[in-house]
């Protein structure tokens, strides 16, 4: 009886310590965000506490600036185009890699996800060396292709994981009923892997929207995105409107990850038997 009480007590202590430890780790991760958000409403022009007052001046300046407006438009346009390309390429690659008889699968898969592993500076330098002779530097096409290459691995990983748990008997049943491979893919496979495709697309868009190193290498003044505009603002002059933009990006990131969690729930529900 005494040993059982000690066991219960130790479990309670471990549970409380786990909660405290998780709270400390969470605070450590979000502390920079907690410091940035209040300063974006500071009426002063310095990145320091204490705040001089509450104001929406920096939000008005950021939203009313032609430079920031062009950066937002570029980020959304480039992100949408690169995400569409990355989704198509990544889904097609995942369909092939998910087959057990696919040749050289063990070699091709690491190559496809290498942009996630290799330092981004090395990847950016490689893009510059390849794109410069082709005339793709300082062009929207070059930036879209580079961002698509960075986003494709996320689509490949998410869609491949979904296809590995896919019931192939459904395809055989559709073929037995006279469906062509395209019809079977469009009506059977695609609806079931759509949540995984959408999740990979969200990650690809977030990667493009947040990328700054590659755009510094191959982007020109016309391709200035939000991260590059923030980089230029910090390097050239300390402008508190950067904090307002950073706060809006935080809200945007929260919305993206909320959509990812929703898509994961859809994917889990689709994987359940009888769904």
The DSSP line for 61-89 is HHHH-HHHHHHHHHHHHHHHHHHHHHHHH
Domain for residue 45, yes or no?
Answer: no
Domain for residue 172, yes or no?
Answer: yes
Domain for residue 13, yes or no?
Answer: no
Domain for residue 29, yes or no?
Answer: no
The residue segments making up the domain with residue 73 are 64-271
CA distances from 169 to 100, 191, 252 (A): 15, 15, 40
Domain for residue 130, yes or no?
Answer: yes
pLDDT for residue 3:
62
Q: What is the pLDDT of residues 177-227, one digit of tens each?
A: 777 777 877 777 788 888 888 888 988 998 898 888 999 899 888 888 888
pLDDT for residue 164:
79
Q: What is the pTM of this model?
A: 0.79
Give the length of the chain. 275
pLDDT for residue 15:
78
What one-character DSSP code corresponds to residue 240?
Answer: T
229: tokens are 């505009």
SS3 of residue 16 by DSSP: helix
Domain total of the chain: 1
What are the residue ranges in the chain where pLDDT is below 70? 1-9, 47-48, 236-238, 263-264, 266-275
pLDDT for residue 118:
87
Residue 188 sits in a domain whose CATH number is 1.10.3720.10
Block residue for tokens 């996320």: 154
72: tokens are 């937002």
Domain for residue 33, yes or no?
Answer: no
Domain for residue 50, yes or no?
Answer: no
Domain for residue 125, yes or no?
Answer: yes
3-state helix, strand, coil in the chain (%, to 5): 80, 0, 20
């Amino acid at each position: 009886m005494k040993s059982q009480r000690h066991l219960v007590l130790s479990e309670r202590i471990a549970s409380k310590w786990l909660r405290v430890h998780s709270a400390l780790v969470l605070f450590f991760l979000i502390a920079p965000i907690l410091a940035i958000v209040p300063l974006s409403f500071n009426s002063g022009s310095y990145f320091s506490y204490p705040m001089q007052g509450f104001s929406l001046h920096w939000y008005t300046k950021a939203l009313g600036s032609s430079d920031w407006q062009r950066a937002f438009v570029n980020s959304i346009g480039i992100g949408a185009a690169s995400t569409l390309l990355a989704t198509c390429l990544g889904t097609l690659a995942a369909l092939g890699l998910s087959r057990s008889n696919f040749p050289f699968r063990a070699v091709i898969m690491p190559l496809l996800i290498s942009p996630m592993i290799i330092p981004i500076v090395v990847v950016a330098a490689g893009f510059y060396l390849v794109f410069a002779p082709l005339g793709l530097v300082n062009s929207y096409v070059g930036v879209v292709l580079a961002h698509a290459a960075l986003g494709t691995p996320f689509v490949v990983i998410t869609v491949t994981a979904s296809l590995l748990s896919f019931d192939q008997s459904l395809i055989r049943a559709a073929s037995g009923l006279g469906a062509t491979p395209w019809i079977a893919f469009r009506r059977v496979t695609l609806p079931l892997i759509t949540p995984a495709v959408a999740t990979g697309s969200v990650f690809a868009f977030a990667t493009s929207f947040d990328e700054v190193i590659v755009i510094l290498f191959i982007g020109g003044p016309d391709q200035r995105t939000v991260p590059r505009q923030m980089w230029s603002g910090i390097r050239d002059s300390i402008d508190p409107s950067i904090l307002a933009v950073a706060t809006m990006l935080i809200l945007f990131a929260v919305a993206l990850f909320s959509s990812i969690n929703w898509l994961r729930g859809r994917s889990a529900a689709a994987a359940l038997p009888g769904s």
